[in-house]
Amino acid sequence: MTDREDRPAIIRLSHVHHAYGPYQALTDLNFEIFKNELAFICGPSGAGKTTLLRLLYAEARPSSGEIAIDGSRLGDIARTGLPLLRRKFGVIFQDYKLIPGRSVFENVALVLEAAGHRRALIPRRVLNVLRMVGMDHHADTLPIRLSGGEQQRVAVARAVVGDPKIILADEPTGNLDEASAQAVMDLLHVAFIRGATVLIATHDKAFIQRLGGRIFHLKQGRLAAFERVEKHHDRTAL
């Protein structure tokens, strides 16, 4: 299944299979995500959404098939090359994955420090992003003292602070109240408008309809269908 566009593909999957022992999590996935595209991966729990994202940022290697990110085949990237690959991504994890012993500021700054940004420039940039997500007043707070929505906003801040080419979000509004979910959505939309490719795994239909974009439907690890949803509930089946 392909959807031809003029833009170059930034994510390309060819015959990707992935199994956890005898359990086949993903089967023969073939699709492309284009540069500066907003796309969604939908499907029920266990459909393989999280597994797919894990394969994209190389937390796991596919059992077979090929994944190319920004022109580089993941299979060709050595272990030592993974950090450079991962700096192309900003990942929002379902369970936030914030370091509990470090402050909100330190959690967000970690991305820039790891990428070797100049130390003098880091505080301003981090505080700007925290301001953007409305968490600047919690800069010195430990994540454990924050609500789920606040932690998710910190996770978004961490995902966007390095201006990544691709943002992957795994159920970013999963456990959030309406207001927090809206704030997270807005932040992802801003990142998209600023040029990032945003791929969101979700089963929140309201979320998809508010933002609009291509949707890849996964069912039992297979790409069952895809469609394009226009913003403002204008839904067009492809």
Partner 1 sequence: MIARHFRRALEDTLANRFVNAVTIMTIALTVMIVSAAVLVFLNAGDWMSAWQQGTRIMAYLRPAAGGAAPALRHSIESIEGVHKAQFIPRDEALHDLKARMEHPASLFENLLENPLPDAFEIQLKPSNDSWEQIEAVAGRVRSLAEVEDVEYGRQWIVAVRRVAHLFQTLGLALLGLLLVAAIAIVANTTRLVIYSRQDEVEIMRLVGATERFIQAPFLIEGLLQGLIGAVGGIAILFAAFSALAVRIDQNGLAGVVTLRFLSLEQMALITMASMLVGWLGCYVALKQFLKL
Could you say which of 23, 71, 78, 80 contacts partner 1 (CB under 8 A)? Answer: 80
104 binds partner 1 (CB under 8 A): no
Does 91 help bind partner 1 (rule: CB under 8 A)? yes
- Report which DSSP code applies to 8: P
Helix (H) or strand (E) holding 95: none
State in angstroms the smallest separation of the CB of 110 from partner 1: 6
Residue selected from 21, 22, 71, 116 as contacting partner 1 according to rule CB under 8 A = 116
- Residue 130 lies near partner 1 (rule: CB under 8 A): no
Among 29, 98, 133, 187, binds partner 1 (CB under 8 A): 98
Minimal distance in Å, beta carbon 166 to partner 1? Answer: 12
Comparison of 45 and 80: residue with beta carbon closer to partner 1: 80
Pick between residue 162 and residue 212 the one whose CB is nearest to partner 1. Answer: 162
Helix spans in the chain (H)? 49-56, 82-86, 104-114, 122-132, 148-160, 178-193, 205-211
Compute the distance between CA of residue 225 and CA of residue 232 in angstroms, rounded to an integer.
21
Rounded CA gap, 150 and 162, in Å? 20
Decide if 159 contacts 169 (C-beta within 8 A). Answer: yes
Between residues 135 and 215, which has the closer beta carbon with respect to partner 1?
135
- Find the binder of partner 1 among 16, 52, 69, 110 (CB under 8 A): 110
Residue 87 is a binding residue for partner 1 (CB under 8 A) = yes
Nearer to partner 1, 108 or 223 (CB): 108
Asked if 99 interacts with partner 1 (CB under 8 A), we say yes
For partner 1, the closer CB: 99 or 238: 99
Rounded CA separation 91/53 (Å): 9
- Cα dihedral sign, 48-198-12-77: negative
Torsion on CA atoms 70, 71, 76, 82, rounded to nearest 10: -20
**Token pair of 227, please?**
């469609």
Residue with smaller CB distance to partner 1, 188 or 211: 188
Q: Residue 100 class from Cβ within 10 Å (0-12 exposed, 13-18 middle, 19+ buried)? A: exposed
Contacting positions for partner 1 (CB under 8 A): 57, 59, 80, 82-87, 89, 91, 93, 97-99, 101-102, 110-111, 113-116, 119, 158, 162
